[in-house]
Amino acid sequence: MDISPHVVVVGLGYAGLPLAVAFAEAGVQVVGLDVAPKRVEMINGGASYIDDIADERLNDVVTSGAFSATVDPACLERATDIIICVPTPLTKHRIPDMRPIESASRTVAACLRPGQLVVLESTTYPGTTDEVVRPILEDSGLQAGVDFALAYSPERIDPGATGSGGFTLRNTPKLVGGLTESCAARAAALYGRVVDCLVPVSSPRIAEMAKLFENIFRNVNMALVNELSILCERMDLDVWEVLDAAATKPFGFTRFNPSPGVGGHCIPVDPFYLTWKAREYGMHTRFVELAGEINENMPRHVVGRVTRALNDQMKSLKGSRILALGVAYKANVSDMRGSPAIAVIEGLVSDGAEVRYHDPHVPEVHVAGSSMKSVPLTSDEIAHADCVLVLTDHSSVDYGLVVDHARMVVDTRNCVRKSRLSSLKQQVCA
């Protein structure tokens, strides 16, 4: 007999909210549980705070009654399936901060009933589901794999790109690692309602490690291309042309692009979950540490590029007016978490520059204790800047206007193509 699932998604952020909406759209009854009353209120009012979920989409599932949000853990009692999507940040000492996972697990444990499925989706080190979540849930007196099912299934969404590269929750293969075979089968049956391709693996640990491997692969390759971009600059080689050339190889090469640094909640953070766990096994994950070091130095490098570019024009950074284009951590999102643009702007300001910014997705930012508002991108604004600094490659920005009016551009994202730069005094690719 197919019992209709009743899903509770714990943690309604970038990972949890799209998942909850997808289940609701698939006809599953979903309740979202969050500790942030403001978020709960917004969801129930049909107002989305996540770029990839349009208000209309959210509103449809809220008004149909398929999805609602609450701060009341009592909703867990009615659930058949519980999915935990809470944050996994680092502490100020850069070690895993397990408090959100522990606290969410305790909340679930307090209401746990026989027959329920609990799935952890948060990105975390191998062993978390078994060593952290399981004991907390078993404090309820119920046994994992016997009285209730337990699994790990990592979130793989690409914020801002959802749908645009053709990859959505539905057509992105989803890893599922169950504590037992029946736990895995139970989780696969649930996710089969919203995902076309499920990839069962033999344990939660394999799935946890696979997710970290994916993100570390990105982090290390981003660091590699960033380091080579600095070398290309010194050798007076156009790194973008080098990459275009290398990327023609149809096998054995994956393209990554240089950047002013690596931001977001995942790529700069997740690798350090593994670094921390590796110490328990007497290992230093040197690639991870080195990649972090290179990427963290990129904002300082960009400040140096701007300084040198101004210097070539007989200007000092001190007193110069810089217009930063884009402050979000990546293209076409409003997410500011870990954005390298903030470190770049702080560096410019502390060296005496007067910085303004334009970002169609981010109306206001807080930099070095004060708030800045996005300025409209007009020809006057561009022309008044001693340097226009492209930090995020938002697709809605009119780079043609920049080309037509900028006195100088430092382009860390290759938005302003060389072919369009004949009217510019100088182009600098960081």
Ligand X SMILES: NC(=O)c1ccc[n+]([C@@H]2O[C@H](COP(=O)([O-])OP(=O)(O)OC[C@H]3O[C@@H](n4cnc5c(N)ncnc54)[C@H](O)[C@@H]3O)[C@@H](O)[C@H]2O)c1
List residues near ligand X by CB under 6 A. Answer: 10-16, 33-36, 39, 85-88, 100, 103-104, 107, 122-123, 155, 157, 159, 265-266
Q: What is the DSSP string of 292-351?
A: HHHHHHHHHHHHHHHHHHHHHTT--STT-EEEEE--SSSTT----TT-HHHHHHHHHHHT
**Helix H or strand E segment including 152:** strand 149-152
Q: Between 169 and 385, name the residue whose CB sits nearer to ligand X.
A: 169
Q: Which helix (H) or strand (E) holds 381?
A: helix 379-384
CA of residue 210 relative to chain centroid, distance:
17
Do residues 115 and 144 touch, judged by C-beta distance below 8 A? no
Which of 222, 212, 223 lies closest to 273 in space, CA to CA? 212
Sheet holding 174-178, edge to edge: 67-70, 29-33, 6-10, 81-84, 117-120, 149-152, 174-178, 198-201
Segments in 196-270 forming alpha helices (H): 204-234, 239-246
- What's the CA gap between 292 and 271, in Å, rounded? 9
391 Cβ neighbours under 8 A, 6+ residues apart = 260, 302, 324, 325, 326, 327, 340, 341, 344, 412, 413
Which residues are registered as beta bridge partners of 358? 325
Query: What residues contact 423, with CB distance under 8 A and at least 6 apart?
Result: 403, 404
Known catalytic residues?
266
For residue 285, what are the CA distances in angstroms to 125, 267, 281?
Answer: 13, 15, 11
Q: What does the alpha-carbon distance between residue 98 and residue 138 come to, in Å, rounded to a whole number? A: 18
Cα angle 184, 188, 189; round to 5 = 120
Please say whether the beta carbons of 97 and 122 come within 8 A.
no
Question: Looking at this protein, which amino acid is placed at residue 315?
Answer: K
The least CB distance from residue 167 to ligand X, in Å, is 13
How distant, in Å, are the alpha carbons of 105, 164, 305 from that of 270?
Answer: 20, 25, 29
**Pairwise CA distance, residues 304 & 234, whole Å:** 13
Tokens, residue 388: 């226009």
Contact 159, 51 (CB under 8 A): yes
